[in-house]
Structure 1
Amino acid sequence: MLALGRPAFSMGRHGSPFATLAATLALFVLVAALPAGAQMPPNPPVEVARPLSDKVTDYVVYTGRFEAVERVVLRARVSGYLDSVGFEDGSIVEKDQILFTIDRRPFEAAVNRAEAALESAKAGRELAKLELDRAEQLASRNVGTVQEVDRTRATLTQADANVAIAEAELRTARLDLEFTEIRAPFTGRISARAVDPGNLIVGGTTQATALGTLVSIDPIHFEFTTSEADYLRYPRGNRVATGSAAEMPKIKVGIRLMNEDTFRHPGVLEFIDNEFDPNSGTITGRALVENPQHLILPGVFGRVRVPASEAHDALLIPDEAIISDQARKIVMTVDAEGKVVPKPVVPGQLHRGLRVVNEGLTADDRVIVAGVQRARPGQGVTANEVTIELGAE
């Protein structure tokens, strides 16, 4: 006998118990029809490989800027009107090439005047010699006086001094004439001229007119700063900082420009400063880079890769095999029973297209390198063995 009481289904205002039962059955059908992502098939296929071992050098990378090995602001040593310019703006000029010429005529006249003054001084010295000889002969015959000999000898000494003064003035005049030609002190790239011919330029003072700038291009310096922690990390840092240039080890570095993917520009670390900046806690390093094609200009930014260790053995795996679990990095491995075993790892730098694993793996581990999205911890998988290969240098 069915007991009367509270109905099994609430009908609501407009529903019925049959409608509610139908909705419940539909929900069960929907759950059963969910895609296989919620229910993984048994032993999904994955590709596994053992970590590759190779010699790896640890590197640190810094941002820096290229600087000219030599740089000079061209100024005249003498004043005058600029007569000509001997280069095209922005061109490469050779050492001792004439870049600017000042009107030579006033300086040529000064040389001629100095040469004439020298000849006059030499003539006065010859006359003083003759007078001294005559006075000494007269004094030897008791005709002349000793006072006359002393006077003529002093005149000769003064004449010698006048000749020396005239010779010095002639050298100065010739130097001033030579300074009318402003030559390139080294081979490099010249800036745009700052003064056009016909202008009066001031030279020989701290306020001398700047005519242009010349910078050397090949080789070129790359300067960067490193922290105290990185400096102490490198075991040869002290020898580099304190040794002479001949004793410094040849530390090879690689440099890349901001639009490049590889460190394709080789260089040699040649200098580390002798003290840290107390404000920033950094020290300056400098590398010498060959620039035969003159593609790199001073002021260009780049990144330098400096070795921070000796070559050592390291394990390498593809980047795709590493997954992130919040702050941790995890690699999925397959054990002898075909089960997925996650292992936390400490990844390092890239080496020839593969990621260095500093901690967490052994050479015998079978790492899932493809199909890791189908692997679940503790789940069985069908492991297909593959081989990891190194990429290009």
Structure 2
Amino acid sequence: MRNALKLVFVTVPLVAIGAGILAYIIANSPPPERITLTERATPVRSIIARVRAVTPSIAGFGLINPARTYEAIAQVGGTVDYVNPGLAKGAILPAGAVLVRLSPVDFNLAIAQANANIRAAEARLEELAVSEVNQTAALEIEKQALALKEADLDRAETLFAGGTVPQTVRDAARAALLAQRQKVQNVASTLALLPTQRAVQTEQIAVYRSNLETARLSLERTELSLPFAARVASTSVEVGQFVRVGQTAAVLDGIDAAEVEAQVLIAALRNLMHSTHISTDAVPLDPSAMTEALRALGLSAEVHLRLGQDVLTWAASVDRISDTIDQKTGTLGVIVRVDTAYSGLEPGRRPPLTKGMFVEVILKAQPASGVVVPRSALRDGQLLVADADDRLQLVPVEFDLVQDGIALITGGIAEGARIVVSAPSPAIPGMLLAVTEDRALMARLAAEGSAE
């Protein structure tokens, strides 16, 4: 009990003393320093909005084919007399070169036969003309003889009536008259047939002349000539070989122009049309309608051939649209024409565009103006913009073109605005930004967006 009381008497004074000291310290100490919370700026990168002209373009790939191909097909049969020494695969022959010549012997004989038939028919026609003159004169003579026979019969009838001559004399006169009438009828019939015979002979001459023209045409067709400069693709004929009608002696590819059927995405093609303010809803996915629409755009084209590290370029023109759409890949063939496929050749550096080369085709529309931004900066039709107070703003914009890594803004953004290209997460409108201008990106956009 005593120990407990001692503990109380010792502890209580100590606690009281400690409380007094603490109260004194609190009463005489300065108030605690207040800490003011400040807003933290989020670092972002930006570019300055600049209006530039951009060339809308799409790319496709395809194989080179000659714009024209000539098949040397025999139109007549015969034995080969001559084959052009240059008619070998890969060789280039000029326009007008004789490729193959067949033996003309049979056709020369046919021409001679036709000429002989014409001369014989013309002689027969002249014979008919002379015969007509002779028969006309003969008919006149026979008619005069008929008049005499009629007079003889009249006298015989008179004498018989008077009993001077017997009946036999009268009958003989009648028989002579009938015989003369028969002669007149025969001559008249011969004359009547002459116009028909002359018409038949005239038509026969026309047939013989047609045979002559056919023989001459066949003779011309014994020679197969090249209508335009071309490279030999294949040949299958030799001297002494018999060639049948319809047989192909050689195939040659024209060198004046080349074509490429580039496969392009239909969606990309429609976007290209949209960028030129042509309503894609008004253009059905029909090759003929698409062809007319592309011609209205005035598209230009380039053909690129990659040779190692080098890329060779040829100017081309959009010619037409392919007749089919690939449903599996969603692509449409756009056929472009290169009129300088064999121009500007440099051995070892710039080859001609020959059949089978795999090339890239770039289709370009007329340049369009707008603000060029990175494609990644466009989000759901909006851009992130830093205002004058470095606050984040979400601005709805209009755009006509999205290609490769850029988008072309045509409305909703003013030139000189600061467009945020590194979006903060989360992006809260009104948040404070620490803006850094990305000059490297601006230079790259200027290069990618420049109109050529």
TM-score (norm 2): 0.57
Which residue identity does 1:356 align to in structure 2?
I
Residue from 212, 215, 234 that aligns with 2:250: 212
Does 1:162 pair with 2:204?
Answer: yes
Q: Distance in 1 between matches of 2:243 and 2:98?
A: 17
Partner residue, 2:371: 314
Partner residue, 1:356: 406
Partner residue, 1:290: 339
- Pairwise CA distance, 1:193: 2.6
Does 1:272 pair with 2:270?
Answer: no
- 2:258 touches 2:341 (CA, 8 Å); kept in 1? no
- Pairwise CA distance, 1:337: 10
**Judging changes above 3 Å, is the alpha-carbon distance between structure 1 residues 192 and 160 closer, same or farther for their aligned structure 2 residues?**
same
Q: Distance in 2 between matches of 1:366 and 1:383?
A: 9
Partner residue, 2:60: 62
Partner residue, 1:248: 295
**Judging changes above 3 Å, is the alpha-carbon distance between structure 1 residues 337 and 228 closer, same or farther for their aligned structure 2 residues?**
closer
**Judging changes above 3 Å, is the alpha-carbon distance between structure 1 residues 247 and 154 closer, same or farther for their aligned structure 2 residues?**
farther
Does 1:259 pair with 2:306?
Answer: yes
Residue 242 of structure 1 aligns to a residue whose secondary structure is helix
- Pairwise CA distance, 1:358: 5.2
Residue 305 of structure 1 aligns to a residue whose secondary structure is strand
- 1:254 touches 1:264 (CA, 8 Å); kept in 2? no
Residue from 443, 446, 452 that aligns with 1:388: 443
Which piece of structure 1 moves more, 77-86 or 169-178? 77-86
**Judging changes above 3 Å, is the alpha-carbon distance between structure 1 residues 146 and 303 closer, same or farther for their aligned structure 2 residues?**
same
C-alpha RMSD of the superposition: 4.8
Residue from 188, 194, 217 that aligns with 1:146: 188
* Superposition map of 1:178-189 within 5 A: 178-189=220-231
**Judging changes above 3 Å, is the alpha-carbon distance between structure 1 residues 51 and 335 closer, same or farther for their aligned structure 2 residues?**
same
Does 1:109 pair with 2:95?
Answer: no
- 1:256 touches 1:303 (CA, 8 Å); kept in 2? yes
Which residue identity does 2:259 align to in structure 1?
H
Residue 164 of structure 1 aligns to a residue whose secondary structure is helix
**Judging changes above 3 Å, is the alpha-carbon distance between structure 1 residues 164 and 298 closer, same or farther for their aligned structure 2 residues?**
same
Q: Distance in 1 between matches of 2:435 and 2:371?
A: 28
- 2:230 touches 2:254 (CA, 8 Å); kept in 1? yes
- Pairwise CA distance, 1:297: 1.8
- Pairwise CA distance, 1:302: 1.6
Partner residue, 1:199: 241
- Measured against aligned partners, the alpha-carbon deviations of 1:144-187 in whole angstroms (never above 9, x if no partner) come to 52211123333222221221111011111111110110012333
Residue from 180, 190, 193 that aligns with 2:232: 190
Partner residue, 1:341: none
- Pairwise CA distance, 1:228: 4.0
- 2:290 touches 2:321 (CA, 8 Å); kept in 1? no
- 1:53 touches 1:316 (CA, 8 Å); kept in 2? no
**Judging changes above 3 Å, is the alpha-carbon distance between structure 1 residues 381 and 149 closer, same or farther for their aligned structure 2 residues?**
closer
Residue 255 of structure 2 aligns to a residue whose secondary structure is coil
Partner residue, 2:81: 83
Q: Distance in 1 between matches of 2:438 and 2:331?
A: 50
Residue 388 of structure 1 aligns to a residue whose secondary structure is helix
- Pairwise CA distance, 1:281: 5.1
- Pairwise CA distance, 1:357: 4.7
- Measured against aligned partners, the alpha-carbon deviations of 1:23-81 in whole angstroms (never above 9, x if no partner) come to xxxxxxxxxxxxxxxxxxxxxxxx99746542112222111223322223211111111
Residue from 215, 219, 222 that aligns with 1:177: 219
Which piece of structure 1 moves more, 256-265 or 171-180? 256-265
- 2:324 touches 2:332 (CA, 8 Å); kept in 1? yes
- 1:334 touches 1:367 (CA, 8 Å); kept in 2? yes
- 2:59 touches 2:264 (CA, 8 Å); kept in 1? no
Residue 96 of structure 1 aligns to a residue whose secondary structure is coil
Which residue identity does 1:55 align to in structure 2?
A
Query: Where do 5+ consecutive residues of structure 2 fail to align?
Result: 1-44, 144-183, 344-351, 378-384, 391-398, 423-431
Residue 249 of structure 1 aligns to a residue whose secondary structure is helix
Q: Distance in 2 between matches of 1:73 and 1:288?
A: 21
Does 1:223 pair with 2:280?
Answer: no
- 2:299 touches 2:365 (CA, 8 Å); kept in 1? no
Which residue identity does 1:254 align to in structure 2?
A
Partner residue, 2:13: none
More helix per residue: 1 or 2? Answer: 2
Corresponding residue pairs, total = 326
Partner residue, 1:14: none
- Measured against aligned partners, the alpha-carbon deviations of 1:99-142 in whole angstroms (never above 9, x if no partner) come to 11112222222222222222122112211222123223333444
**Judging changes above 3 Å, is the alpha-carbon distance between structure 1 residues 65 and 285 closer, same or farther for their aligned structure 2 residues?**
same
**Judging changes above 3 Å, is the alpha-carbon distance between structure 1 residues 366 and 279 closer, same or farther for their aligned structure 2 residues?**
closer
Query: Where do 5+ consecutive residues of structure 1 fail to align?
Result: 1-46, 324-332, 339-345, 370-377
